[in-house]
Amino acid sequence: MAPPEPPRITVVGSINMDVSARTPSLPAPGETVAGTELVLGRGGKGANQAVAAARAGGDVRFVGAVGDDAFAPELRASLQADGIDTDTLRTTPGASGVAVVTVDDAAENTIVVVAGANDSLSELGADDVAAIEGADVLLLQLEIPVPTVVAAAEAARRGATTVFLNPSPVRPVPDALLDVVDVLVVNESEHRALGDAVERAPHVVTTLGARGARHRGPDGVVTEVPAPRVQAIDTTGAGDAFTGALAVAWRDGPVAAVRRAVVGGALATTRAGIAAPTAAEIDHAAQDFA
């Protein structure tokens, strides 16, 4: 029997160049600290989740924007290196998105984001809509203009595509978006900030850090899924690794998907920088975890 086709994942979201500095401790306001390492690499929640989904076994297409600066070719190539279709990644005049990240020896981080070209993603083209309507899963975040996020979710609903929303950076979510979200993926602080709005989504998946994750389904049943114990060195991008793996595994059922996602998220914390695990790595670790 032939293996099943990989799930088709379309991500509409942000892509940034991350400028990451490692320090022994995070600086307090007004303080200067000595860094020990500087790394440039692709970031943005949209791009991170796209790469995580591709590495977890998804057939991924990315809808987004880069500038016409020196960072743009490298950002585009970084997606293509993981087999992601970038035909719907547009180029706009000006700077690409940039994030400045500081990571300390306790694996905590601070992040400052300059949106750049991500803010130019103000409308969807025909090719973008076709990519959304033809997908099994649409992954959305809130690092691009919210009206575009709403338009993408509405297009997904017309195409019977499952809509995932990771409402980060957290902000009020319009009713028009909540009405078409199938799966809301939040951390504990986002869950608290959104309040009762969280309950409007049929499925809510709440990440709990080292404790794992929680799923609440349409029937109100809550399932807690613990995470494997790992030696974390950098939590940057772990939530995006979780979300990408979750989207790919969703067709196996919500609880099975969450079990796989907690393994993917945990593995991501064991590497420096944004480094989502592959499907084979998740498979291996999941066997040990079971």
Q: Say if CB 276 and CB 56 are below 8 A apart.
A: yes
Q: In Å, what is the CA distance from 280 to each residue of 176, 247, 251?
A: 38, 16, 18
CA 34, CA 227: separation in Å to the nearest integer? 34
Q: Is residue 251 part of a domain?
A: yes
Q: Is residue 26 part of a domain?
A: no
Q: Is residue 103 part of a domain?
A: no
Instruction: Output the known binding site for K(+).
Output: 234, 236, 268, 271, 273
Q: Is residue 154 part of a domain?
A: yes
CATH code, 134: 3.40.1190.20
Tell me what pLDDT residue 39 has: 86
Tell me what pLDDT residue 1 has: 65
Tell me what pLDDT residue 132 has: 98
Tell me what pLDDT residue 290 has: 58
Instruction: Output the known binding site for substrate.
Output: 16-18, 44-48, 143, 240
Catalytic residue among 105, 219, 240, 283: 240
**Three-class DSSP category at 93:** coil
Residue ranges making up the domain that contains 80: 8-15+44-95+117-289
Phi-psi region for residue 191, left (φ > 0), alpha (ψ -120 to 50) or beta? Answer: alpha
Mean pLDDT by 10 residues, the chain (290 residues): 87 94 92 91 94 98 97 97 98 95 84 92 96 98 97 94 96 94 97 93 96 96 93 83 97 96 92 82 80
Q: How many domains does the chain have?
A: 1
Tell me what pLDDT residue 26 has: 92
Tell me what pLDDT residue 188 has: 95
Structure tokens at 80: 């293509």
Tell me what pLDDT residue 289 has: 66
Q: Is residue 34 part of a domain?
A: no
pTM for this entry: 0.91
Instruction: Output the known binding site.
Output: 16-18, 44-48, 143, 187, 207-212, 234, 236, 239-240, 268, 271, 273
Instruction: Output the known binding site for ATP.
Output: 187, 207-212, 239-240
Q: Is residue 135 part of a domain?
A: yes
Active site residue 196: no
Q: Is residue 105 part of a domain?
A: no
Q: Is residue 282 part of a domain?
A: yes
Q: Which distant-in-sequence residues (6+ apart) come within 8 Å of 19 by Cβ?
A: 38, 39, 40, 98, 99, 100, 101
CA 216, CA 86: separation in Å to the nearest integer? 34
